[in-house]
Structure 1
């Protein structure tokens, strides 16, 4: 039976509730020094505000090695009464020191992902460090701007192996929304990951309706997120994209998320934060798509996208993928 794996344990998909399908509570990118998200109080405030507006769950897409503060996630989830789905995986190569990437190869990269999905998330950024009780519920990978490099292909190969071992969904960062067709061809076409286990992110940042329909025809989930200063130029196309896909029969594949991060949150005065999803976006979704479709986008679709047939015992891939 399928379940959503949260940091507090597996739950029935129908228990997820209204879901922010892509956001970050904690994030530290070495390539973006000075923009770290590392304030537990602000993270808790964002979750509490989201909950007060009816929010039930957040998918936290911060992968290994980027300051995800995995040890804090269970307590934050309990305190706010919000389900949290955490991520294993790796981002683009530029966000890691070479020694950090080298240390993930000890068990094979696919085995490393599987361990975080089935045994527990590492409490810190040392692959040899202690594990907590919270498990990852998804794998995060990332494409490049209009292409895929060797690191991307290696990570996606390992993610595909980990998916085949565990059933875990794979969420994809697309740089400025680009290279989604290349990612789909690799993960689904070459590596055999079912399209229904893929969450193709940031597609609002590349508002090409023809491409969106092409991606949707595969059966993958299409994730639209924002707003932010960096992507304000395309934020206004969000509803054009959602309505066009709904009219083409793809309502059941649409996901929305804040991806506003805590530094842009109401708790710090820097932006709309997680509550924006329900305070501003939800009423507009109802107006644009209708109440039933809006419910599908916020509740039904993420419940299906984040659910998996998790193995009864810890699985491991047959090859390393490293």
Structure 2
């Protein structure tokens, strides 16, 4: 049986449609809230909803919300946006990365996580198998005590390092994947440590064709990308529009290099739009409409000029590949 699990229930893979594979819609990360980093707080459901509506207006159908519990999810608000706009949204169980775990656990999560002061304290106190059971519960029962189930499981590691707690959560998430068959996703800080993550995943018996690696465009190294792609995993180029890191020509060159090597069926594209200043309706940014309305036409033109079929590649990156990547196969 194959299905994709959304906040509104399970759907057939062919129902997913045009998909952004890594976004953040409504979230208030405790780590950033404690530091008054307002730009990193997507804390207005109605403003977020307007950006999702723009995405839908241009033909968007689905969004994978990659917000884990330690990044301040607002599960109810995101579910409401999904209902009100009739857009499929996939929720995420699991964890992000260690520096965020210095933050205090919000009071509303105490009934779910227990009376621990910080995420670090919670992760330290729990065994790998206990964390695994927690992640399984979010996939099979619901996120944060709601009835809305996660459609993927996630772990993360820091820049050029994997801490003991990050290895612990990686192993917990890997085991939850093996039990639930939920798709796997990783945060790689600045695109690093993907190969090291792979070795740990292999030691847990994970089939890497169920895995997607985030932020690959933050490390625009074609050799590194090929090493990851050769395992069968998906590569997520989810920094579109972030010119402060690299021009779009660099991202497109990396994507087309993978296509040239035969890995076009393993590429995902999104924006990781996690700041007010990236959103149109918060702070006049490019917004969730940018990729579908502006980047896609530019990519098609650029790819066609280089001898590729740009339209066919867009269909793969935004429709066909997500429909496979985010499917539970039982």
TM-score (norm: length of structure 2): 0.87
Superposition pairs for residues 82-93 of structure 1, below 5 Å?
Answer: 82-93=87-98
Q: How far apart, in 1, do the equivalents of 2:165 and 2:243 lie?
A: 25
Which of 116, 126, 136 in structure 2 is aligned with 1:114? 136
Aligned to 1:61: 66
- Corresponding residue number in structure 2 for 1:3: 3
The answer to whether structure 1 residue 40 and structure 2 residue 62 are counterparts is no
2:320 maps to what in 1? 300
Cα offset for 1:66? 2.1
CA contact (8 A) 2:240 2:291 kept: no
Kindly indicate whether the alpha-carbon contact (under 8 Å) linking 2:190 and 2:219 is maintained by their aligned counterparts in 1. yes
- Whether the aligned pair in 1 keeps the contact of 2:241 and 2:271 (CA below 8 Å) is no
**Counterparts of 1:191-202 in structure 2 under 5 Å?**
191-202=204-215
- Aligned to 1:38, the other structure's residue is in SS state coil
Kindly indicate whether residue 289 of structure 2 is the aligned counterpart of residue 275 of structure 1: yes
Aligned partner of 1:248 in structure 2 is 261
Q: Distance in 1 between matches of 2:97 and 2:146?
A: 25
Structure 1 residues 44 and 158: alpha-carbon distance in aligned structure 2, compared to 1, 3 A threshold: same
**What SS does the aligned partner of 1:255 have?**
strand
- Equivalences for residues 165-314 of structure 1 within 5 A: 165-187=179-201, 189-227=202-240, 231-233=244-246, 235-261=248-274, 263=276, 264-287=278-301, 288=303, 289-290=308-309, 291-309=311-329
Query: Gaps spanning 5+ residues in structure 1: where?
Result: 123-130, 311-322
Moved more, 23-32 or 8-17: 23-32
Q: Structure 2 vs 1, CA of residues 227 and 292 (structure 1 numbering), >3 Å: closer, same or farther?
A: closer
Extract unaligned runs of 5+ from structure 2: 105-116
Using the alignment, how far apart are the partners of 2:163 and 2:247 within structure 1?
A: 26
CA deviation string 1:149-204 (max 9, x = no partner): 101100000001100110011111111111111111211x2111111111101000
The structure with the largest helix share of the pair is 2
1:283 Cα deviation (Å)?
A: 1.3
Q: Which residue of 1 aligns with 2:81?
A: 76
- 8 A contact 2:41–2:275 mirrored in 1: no
8 Å Cα contact 1:62-1:140 kept in structure 2? no
> CA separation in 1, counterparts of 2:94 and 2:177?
11
Q: CA deviation at 1:284?
A: 2.5
Q: SS of the residue aligned with 2:255?
A: helix
What is the Cα-based RMSD across aligned positions, in Å? 1.8
Cα distance in 2 for residues equivalent to 1:292 and 1:90: 34
- Any idea what SS the aligned residue of 2:150 has? coil
Tell me what 1:139 maps to: 153
The corresponding residue for 2:54 is 49
TM-score (norm 1): 0.89
How far residue 54 of structure 1 moved from its aligned partner, in angstroms, is 0.3
Q: CA–CA distance in 2 between the matches of 1:171 and 1:72?
A: 23
CA contact 1:58–1:85 (8 Å) conserved in 2: yes
Q: Distance in 2 between matches of 1:81 and 1:184?
A: 36
> Higher mean Cα deviation, 86-95 or 283-292?
283-292
C-alpha deviation, 1:298, in angstroms: 0.7
Matched, 1:162 2:176: yes
